[in-house]
Structure 1
Amino acid sequence: MNKFAKYILGGLGLFLCCGFIAVKHKDLLFSYPEYWPKPQYDFSKLTMSEDQFQLGRQLFYDPILSRDNTISCASCHLQATGFTHVDHDLSHGIEGRIGTRNSMTIMNLAWNTSFMWDGGVNHIEIQALAPISSENEMDESLEHVVEKLNNSEKYKTLFYNVHKDSVVTGQRTLLALTQFVVMLTTYNSKYDKYIREEVEFTEQEKSGLNVFRTHCASCHTEPLFTNNKFINNGLEVDTTLNDFGRMIITQNPQDSLKFKVPTLRNIQFTKPYMHDGRFETLQEVINHYTSDIQDSNTLSETLKSNIELTHKEKVDLLVFLRTLTDQEFLFNKRFAFPYNQ
């Protein structure tokens, strides 16, 4: 039996199959490794059915969620790039409007304790309201989204498949989106297989892992590679955006310039980096932490001492970060655009 595998299968009863521990709850599989912490999300709120998943996937890729039917969730969250965008530093919305922040990746959200760069949303089931209602993104109301969905024969059928009636409501719409995004789990990178003793690391990858654990892991904590906290990581303030991060939500000066620590999973493909997308390469990110930290009253304690890395250590760290890439996740057809619908 693979001691690191835990599977929660969307009905009733326990069974052992193919060396995996499984809990059967209806018909949809949610899985994560045993060495991971328990998810934060309460799955009892979802139907955990295949029909619910397919409804959520359809909504995720449908521009009907935006006011002019041109922008979908996937417009800023592309699967092959870790469900974020890579062609511009700040998010784009309808009519070419430009937002103020880089879109965050969508992966392993069941473990999140808050959402958005500033933690302005504290529950996954309402997270979609933020981009839907944002003037610079979808610029739509949930009420009007529901009206459009109720006028769609396709969605009447999809909602009927889930609820046994075709009535679309705001709550049902948000739950469907939740059903899809909560399933976007990634845990089959080379790093994970190394931890599970399925593969070996090269000496350079091992060296990079040691560098990471020494200098980076306090914020980007294994195995999720985030600690879900908000920190000031010493970036120079962009005087054009004047974004003060968490303080905008809490109104507490102690939260000035603090932003959520993002996961590093699939980091090789999730550029540009930082809340404002200022860095195009991981080399720039590493150089920031080793030579360009800006001191301020709220700077993270872990960054007040200089991080000194040799050229070799920087290269080894980059090599290790590439082991966080999960090709199975990035190209999983189950998460892709539903061409068949």
Structure 2
Amino acid sequence: MNKIYSLVILVLLISGCASDNDDSIYQNIPIDYQIPTNFPPLAYNMANNPLTEKGFELGKKIFYDGRLASDGVVSCGFCHIQEDAFTHHGHTFSHGVGDGVGVRNAPPIQNMAYQSQFFWDGAADHIELLSMAPISNELEMNGDIVAIIEMMKNDASYRKLYKQAFENGEINSENMLKALAQFMTMLTSSNSKFDKYRRNEAGGTMSTQELAGYAVFNQKCASCHATDIFTDNSFRNNGLPINPSINDMGRFRVTGIEGDRFTFKVPSLRNIEKTAPYMHDGRFYSLEAVLDHYDTGVAQTENLDPSLNPSGRLGIPLSSIEKTQLIAFLKTLTDNEFLTNPKFAEF
């Protein structure tokens, strides 16, 4: 009887020790990220920041935490809403703390690991660095990195997650940005009807009109919206008349090179149906308006991209039928699995 009693006590002691030190026995499971077969190679080298379940979980928590902002409300997810392909749908410009309004339309967050420059002007050239811009921008989150790190150090859930997610377990800006990069890397949109068509999968049957639109796209749009990511990651002037209220000089603000004046990054067209308004300043609220611009609205602006004036005719000639076909095709790029995946949702 005494032996049995002693054995029970020993088991309880061992169990108690294990529960008090769960972090020490926890195995942070790697995520086996698979590049979709119709995608180009990754631009992001994950070797220095391997994807793991706890790294992703930590990044997601940070992404949706309003405490990073000076008002305790405006999180990254505030301007990047999942059902709208992580854009601020319906808002011409991004909104931030204290009802602050930015000067550019919030770009979508999707397929970031296949890009090497970010924002409309390419101000960030690494997925692990880009988050600092909105966090610190006074019109967006107006965050104080020192205060943010201190907040996390005083939060038990953050202490546990950092310990699980990173070998050194440190709560610092480097690990914070790496965790956010892991979350954004996982925001891969690759299961639209078009993707299934390209991979010859179930659900990928394209209609006659959609296929006609794809043919028009390949003829008139694909040189800039290249590969199945639908951007060549270049910076171009697409003939938008200058918006005098903001006088945004685009990439010139970053490089100071005259040839970059009024050029902006070619955006991906994935989930384009869900990301209105369009252009860097959100001036167009429909796909029809965008196509009308390319057909008849292109202006002879400074540094206009040569592809929009190939033979003295500004823009890209598009018939009404071609516009209808193009829009039908563009809607096949909507990835409802991505827009509704609970893994990416706040709760």
Give the conservation status (yes or no) of the 8 Å contact 2:38–2:199: no
Aligned equivalent of 1:248: 253
Aligned equivalent of 1:264: 269
- Unaligned 5+ segments in structure 1 are 1-24
1:244-323 matches, within 5 Å, as 244-304=249-309, 305=313, 306-323=315-332
**Aligned residue type for 1:314:** K
Aligned equivalent of 1:236: 241
Aligned equivalent of 1:31: 34
User: SS at 2:329's partner residue?
Assistant: helix
Give the conservation status (yes or no) of the 8 Å contact 2:38–2:195: no
User: C-alpha distance in 1, partners of 2:193/2:277?
Assistant: 23
Larger Rg: 1 or 2?
Answer: 2
Give the conservation status (yes or no) of the 8 Å contact 1:92–1:137: yes
Q: Following superposition, which runs of at least 4 residues in structure 1 exceed 4 angstroms of deviation?
A: none
The Cα of 1:26 is off from its aligned counterpart by 4.9
Aligned equivalent of 1:170: 173
User: SS at 1:31's partner residue?
Assistant: coil
Aligned equivalent of 2:137: 134
Aligned residue pairs, count:
314
The Cα of 1:145 is off from its aligned counterpart by 1.1
1:8-19 matches, within 5 Å, as none
Aligned equivalent of 1:192: 195
User: C-alpha distance in 1, partners of 2:67/2:32?
Assistant: 28
User: C-alpha distance in 2, partners of 1:177/1:296?
Assistant: 38
**Aligned residue type for 1:77:** H
User: SS at 2:128's partner residue?
Assistant: helix
The Cα of 1:27 is off from its aligned counterpart by 2.6
**1:206 equivalent in alignment to 2:205:** no
The Cα of 1:164 is off from its aligned counterpart by 5.8
The Cα of 1:165 is off from its aligned counterpart by 6.2
User: C-alpha distance in 1, partners of 2:146/2:319?
Assistant: 56
**Aligned residue type for 1:175:** K
User: SS at 1:117's partner residue?
Assistant: coil
Give the conservation status (yes or no) of the 8 Å contact 1:64–1:70: yes
- CA-to-partner distance for each residue in 1:34-55, whole Å, 9 max, x for gaps? 2322101011112421011100
User: SS at 2:324's partner residue?
Assistant: helix
User: C-alpha distance in 1, partners of 2:185/2:67?
Assistant: 21
User: C-alpha distance in 2, partners of 1:296/1:53?
Assistant: 43
- CA-to-partner distance for each residue in 1:232-287, whole Å, 9 max, x for gaps? 00001110101010001111111111000010000000111000111110000000
**1:324 equivalent in alignment to 2:333:** yes
**Aligned residue type for 2:213:** G
- Unaligned 5+ segments in structure 2 are 1-27
User: C-alpha distance in 2, partners of 1:245/1:174?
Assistant: 25
User: C-alpha distance in 2, partners of 1:164/1:316?
Assistant: 52
Give the conservation status (yes or no) of the 8 Å contact 2:40–2:227: no
1:72-221 matches, within 5 Å, as 72-163=75-166, 167-198=170-201, 199-221=204-226
Aligned equivalent of 1:54: 57
User: SS at 1:174's partner residue?
Assistant: helix
Percentage identity across aligned positions? 41
Give the one of 314, 334, 337 matched to 2:343.
334
User: SS at 1:32's partner residue?
Assistant: coil
The alignment's TM-score, normalised by the length of structure 1, stands at 0.89
The alignment's TM-score, normalised by the length of structure 2, stands at 0.88
- CA-to-partner distance for each residue in 1:185-212, whole Å, 9 max, x for gaps? 0111111111112232111011100111
Give the conservation status (yes or no) of the 8 Å contact 2:120–2:265: yes
User: SS at 2:34's partner residue?
Assistant: strand
Q: Relative to structure 1, is the Cα distance of residues 35 and 86 closer, same or farther in structure 2, using a 3 angstrom cutoff? A: closer
Greater helix content: 2
- CA-to-partner distance for each residue in 1:164-193, whole Å, 9 max, x for gaps? 665411101111111100110011111111
